[in-house]
Amino acid sequence: MSEQQEQQNKVAMVICAHADDAEFGCSGTIALWVKEGWDVYYVLCTDGSGGGPDEATDVGPEARAKVVETRKVEQRAAGKVLGLKDVVFLGYQDGQLQPTLDLRRDLVRLMRQYKPSRVVCQSPDRSWTPVMRIQGYHPDHLAAGRAALEAIYPASQNPWDFPELMAEGYKPHKVSEIYIFGAPTKNFAVDISSTIEIKIEALRAHVSQLSSHFEQIEGWIRSGAEDAGKRNGFAFAEEFHRTEN
Ligand SMILES: [Zn+2]
């Protein structure tokens, strides 16, 4: 471990669009960091109201409110499995997330409040090779990734961006490491051999989304992590595009 890493604030923030996104993308890594003594916070940008059953006929306000509550409960349960410090729900409309200045400001506020040295986020870019299906990229994921990166640089560290946050008492904060999952190019792997079972258990907490076909999902997760492991010399791995700021 480098001297810079020794000295860094052991706080990480995971920014995603929806409940369960981070469990799929990076929860083996998160479980590992928690074991290593990191405080990890999740930030979910949307309210999850678009995550009801595909065959639903009632998609009105009451049905949506129920889905929102269920997904929050499930995400908190997954957070408990992983040992997260907290989960923050920003409550933007599911399915309609945009990388707006309002979203960027909300993320900057949280970065300045929690002071993460590591941020994990979704990719703002689609990858079409080798053969990526369109289902691999929900537009909310792209928007959350773009908003997260734009909040990190330069806004969070620049006192001149969002002066109203300075007035609220949130001083500039520089994030030093960025881990992007689902990125077109990956340059970094985390050995999750010791935490893959925790990842599976955290995924299992998303009952309303995954329980109907959990065995199949578990199979995909294990084989995906195994393939990533083979590419990097581990039993199981998660891969990222990692960059420093
Ligand atoms: Zn999602």
Compute, in angstroms, the gap from residue 159 CA to the centroid of ligand 1. Answer: 32
Compute, in angstroms, the gap from residue 139 CA to the centroid of ligand 1. Answer: 9
Question: Distances in Å between the alpha carbon of 184 and those of 7, 24, 137, 233, 243?
Answer: 31, 17, 11, 21, 14
Number of other CB atoms surrounding residue 238 within 10 Å = 30
Compute, in angstroms, the gap from residue 199 CA to the centroid of ligand 1. Answer: 16
| Token pair listed for 54 | 């595909």
Compute, in angstroms, the gap from residue 234 CA to the centroid of ligand 1. Answer: 27
Residues within 5 Å of ion ligand 1, judged at the Cβ atom: 17-18, 21
Compute, in angstroms, the gap from residue 2 CA to the centroid of ligand 1. Answer: 34
Compute, in angstroms, the gap from residue 134 CA to the centroid of ligand 1. Answer: 13
Compute, in angstroms, the gap from residue 227 CA to the centroid of ligand 1. Answer: 22
Give the pLDDT confidence of 132-184 residue by residue, as tens digits: 778 778 999 999 999 999 999 999 999 999 999 999 999 999 999 999 999 98
For position 51, what pLDDT does the model report? Answer: 75
Compute, in angstroms, the gap from residue 19 CA to the centroid of ligand 1. Answer: 7
Tell me the whole-structure pTM to 2 decimals.
0.95
For position 6, what pLDDT does the model report? Answer: 55
Compute, in angstroms, the gap from residue 133 CA to the centroid of ligand 1. Answer: 15
* Digitized pLDDT (tens) for each residue of the chain, 245 residues in all: 555 555 679 999 999 999 999 999 999 999 999 999 999 999 999 999 987 777 888 888 888 999 999 999 999 999 999 999 999 999 999 999 999 999 999 999 999 999 999 999 999 998 887 777 787 789 999 999 999 999 999 999 999 999 999 999 999 999 999 999 999 899 999 999 999 999 999 999 999 999 999 999 999 999 999 999 999 999 999 999 999 99
Compute, in angstroms, the gap from residue 125 CA to the centroid of ligand 1. Answer: 15
Give the pLDDT confidence of 228-245 residue by residue, as tens digits: 999 999 999 999 999 999
Exposed / middle / buried, residue 51 (Cβ in 10 Å: 0-12, 13-18, 19+)? buried
For position 130, what pLDDT does the model report? Answer: 72
- Tell me the residue type at 236: F
Compute, in angstroms, the gap from residue 141 CA to the centroid of ligand 1. Answer: 6
Locate the domains of the chain by residue range.
Answer: 3-244
* Contacts for 243 with CB less than 8 Å, ≥ 6 apart: 177, 178, 180
Compute, in angstroms, the gap from residue 18 CA to the centroid of ligand 1. Answer: 5
CATH classification of 3-244 is 3.40.50.10320, yes or no? yes
Compute, in angstroms, the gap from residue 156 CA to the centroid of ligand 1. Answer: 25
